[in-house]
Amino acid sequence: MSTQALIMMITTVTVVTCITGYFFYKVLTTPPRSEPDSYEDNDDQPR
Partner 1 sequence: MGLILAMAGNAVGLGNFLRFPVQAIQNGGGAFIIPYLVCFLLMGIPLLWIEWATGRFGGSKGHHSTPFILDAMDKRKFWKYIGVFGIFTNLAVAAYYCYLESWTLNYVWNAITGTFRGETAESVSNYFNAYVNAGDAHQHWSAWIADNPAPIIFWVVCLVLNTWILSKGLSGGVEKVAKIGMPLLIVFGVFLAIMSISLKSGQHGAVYGGSEGLNFLWTPDFSTIWNPKVWLAAAGQIFFTLSVGMGSIQCYASYVRKKDDIALNAMSAGWMNEFVEVVLGAAIIIPISVGYLGVDKVVEMTRTGGLGLGFRTLPFLFEQWGTTLAVICGVFWFGLLFFAGITSSLAMGTPWMGFMQDEFGWSRSKGAWSFGAIVLILGLPTVLFFNQGVFDEYDYWAGTVSLVVFALGETILFAWIFGMDKGWREINAGGDIQVPIVFKFIIKYVTPTLLLLVFLGALITPEGNDWVGAFQNGWKLDNGSIIKQLLNTGIKDQMQMSREAGDLVTYDALKTKLLYVNGARLLLLAVFFGVAWLVSKAYFKRVKSGKII
Residues contributing to the site for partner 1 (CB under 8 A):
1-2, 4-6, 8-9, 12-13, 16-17, 19-20, 23-24, 26-28, 30, 33, 36, 41, 43-44
At closest approach, how far in Å is the CB of 47 from partner 1?
Answer: 15
Query: Shortest Cβ distance from residue 9 to partner 1 (Å)?
Result: 4
Nearer to partner 1, 2 or 47 (CB): 2
3-state secondary structure string across 1-45: CCHHHHHHHHHHHHHHHHHHHHHHHHHHHCCCCCCCCCCCCCCCC
Q: Say how far apart CA 44 and CA 47 lie, in whole Å.
A: 9
